[in-house]
A and B are shown apart, each in its own frame.
Chain A
Amino acid sequence: MPERTSDFPRTRDSVIAGAASDDAAVRARSLEAIAESYWRPAYKYLRLRWHLEREDAEDLTQDFFATACDRDLFARYDPAAARFRTYLRVCLDSVAKNARAASLRLKRGGGVVHLALDFAGAEGELAGARALEENGPDEFFRREWLRSLFTLAVHDLRILCESAGKSVHFELFDRYDLGAGRATYAELAAEHALPVTQVTNHLAFARREFRRLLLARLRAQCASDAEFREEARELLGVDVT
């Protein structure tokens, strides 16, 4: 699977529901979207929670997402029982436990379809990720999922701005809201030869779109409207309809 986001416009349909669809194409797209958001948290979780060696964690992550559909993993998910994120984490625990119990070293290849995942990049992020011991496995997994969600939404915004000829909007967003050592509006205005009011307007546009894209990503990752509203409230402190 390429490390990129899908093209716009993005559907707001739940990929969780799509993963259990009878339509193979819908199922495949949904799996891709789920893996896109969750593979990094899953890999880091296996590395830190289960102390798997790098290659074992890579293999298990690959195997987990590549065979999820065959094992009806997502079809068995019950939204009434838990959030999808929690369900996925528990499934990972089960898979890791079984792999450990069997003392089987998962082999690369072996007929399993490979996803093109940037494990080297994820490995480099382990040191920067908040320690698992600090907050417990559930919060760690949630935090890493949020990180993945925000990363993808930033990527979405970049693509949107570039395709709409608004690269400067993204640059301002990148400098002001994303980067450390925040520049002032006046400094940004001077850098881009824009009036300050134009800078604030561009930033307002970028934030508005970022918010929309983030919520769209979030919506797709939730199994129900109720879960979406709950997640949005926790994430942004807002009520959405």
Chain B
Amino acid sequence: MTFLDDAALERLRCAADAPDLSGTKYAITRELARGGMGTVYEAWDAELERAVALKVVTVPEAIPEGVARLHREARTLAHLEHPGIVPVHDIGRLPDGRFYYAMKLVRGARLDELVATAPRAELLRIFGRVCDAIAFAHAHGVVHRDIKPANIMVAGFGEVLVVDWGLATEKQSPVDGRQSSTPNPASEPSSEIAARADDDTRLATADIRPVTGHGAILGTPGFMAPEQSSGGIVAVDARADVFALGALLQWMLGASGRAAPRANALAAIAGQAMRADPAARYQSVTALAADVEAFLDKRPVSAYPERALERARRVVTKYRAPIVLVLAYLVMRLVLLLVMRERR
């Protein structure tokens, strides 16, 4: 028998796990990512002659929650048409019974891959785009629940896309009160608790209509709001995403590894978003984004009461050019006055 080296073993493992795409218009090019519930492949759509990302549920139909979850994720995405949210092209079932959906293939880098090299201004621009996409989802009653660097893609032309909506929930937003535009799945018992496969966190699904089901991935430690990770019978609403965005901002500040002017203000914004009590956080992503935008415009931010010296420094920085011009003008006037006085 032929000896299988480690590389051959891994290729065979992938082959055994490869979805059966016979009879579909797709052919797998390579595996892109593997999660608790599904694997994402780069695939070729022979009909439309384009590359797509194909997400195939790992769990076969013997465990229907996995299928239901992926199905709902696809449907959630299909209802969220936004430049910052990856669009779904197609949905279906493979001959081997596994469920899949095809979506736009994003060619680019994950945020965690480029954070070390991107300038801070660029990171904050990306953060703003992420806020836009999440705010849009919230306006449609969808909470992402798994915002983290690995779920943010930056494409070749600077497009920013939020991916992996597998943990998203559809519910009425406590912030803007708008109702989900998507059909509601049947409510599940309030005591139903789903556990994440790759960590030991638990989340009660008391007053939410979970897109997720048994064995679902329900957040990432470090980016999860306390009410999401506590496992208590508590509500998880849009403010859980506000917390995650605060954690993301804090992570960006730390991971970029460069000393930042007015870092205190940015840290205060992140801190405000990450308050343990949801009521003490920004009450919407829009409010959080507005503070970040104020920071970028060198305006005061609501989360950080400035001291007089800091305010002066900020104003000088913001209005440096006109201040320099006025000062130059005043110096010239002074010189002129002195010269004229000398002549008299």
Contact = CB atoms under 8 A, between A and B. Distances in A.
Interface of A: 3, 121, 124-125, 128, 130, 143, 146-147, 150-152, 154-155, 173, 177-180, 182, 185, 196, 200-201, 204-205, 207-208, 210-211, 214, 235-241
Contact of A210 (B12, B39, B60): B12
Contacts of A241: 62
B143 to A, nearest CB: 27
A147 B66 CA distance: 30
B117 interface: no
Contact of B15 (A146, A147, A210, A237): A210
Contacts of B3: 121, 124-125, 128, 151
A238 B58 CA distance: 6
B59 interface: yes
Interface of B: 1-9, 11-18, 20-22, 27, 34, 39, 58-60, 62-63, 66, 95-96
Given A177-B11, A178-B11, A238 B59 contact: yes
B8 A178 contact: yes
Contacts of A152: 1
Nearest to A152: B1
A235 B8 contact: no
Given A185-B27, A239-B62, A150 B15 contact: no
Given A125-B3, A211-B17, A240 B62 contact: yes
A207 B18 contact: yes
Closest 8 CB pairs of A and B: A177-B15, A204-B22, A211-B16, A241-B62, A201-B22, A204-B20, A125-B3, A236-B17
A179 B1 CA distance: 14
Contacts of B22: 200-201, 204-205
Given A185-B27, A200-B21, A237-B58, A207 B7 contact: no
A125 to B, nearest CB: 5
A212 B60 CA distance: 14
Given A146-B9, A178-B11, A185-B27, A214 B34 contact: no
Interface of A is mostly: helix
Contacts of B21: 200, 204
A150 B1 CA distance: 11
A205 B6 CA distance: 24
A235 B6 CA distance: 14
B59 A208 contact: no
Contact of A178 (B12, B17, B34): B12
B4 A151 contact: yes
Given A208-B96, A238-B58, A154 B4 contact: yes
A125 B5 CA distance: 9
A214 B9 CA distance: 12
Given A204-B20, A204-B21, A237-B17, 18 more contacts: A3-B1, A121-B1, A125-B3, A150-B13, A151-B4, A154-B12, A178-B11, A180-B8, A200-B22, A200-B27, A204-B22, A236-B16, A237-B34, A237-B58, A238-B59, A239-B63, A239-B66, A240-B60
Given A185-B27, A238-B59, A207 B16 contact: yes
A17 B9 CA distance: 28
Nearest to B22: A204
Contact of B1 (A155, A200, A236): A155
Contacts of B13: 150, 235-236
A3 B3 CA distance: 14
Contacts of B60: 238-240
A114 B14 CA distance: 37
A177 B18 CA distance: 10
9 contacts: A3-B1, A151-B1, A154-B12, A201-B22, A204-B22, A235-B13, A237-B17, A239-B59, A240-B60
A40 to B, nearest CB: 9
Nearest to B7: A180
Residue among A178, A179, A182 with most chain B CB within 10 A:
A178
Residue among B2, B22, B62, B66 with most chain A CB within 10 A:
B22
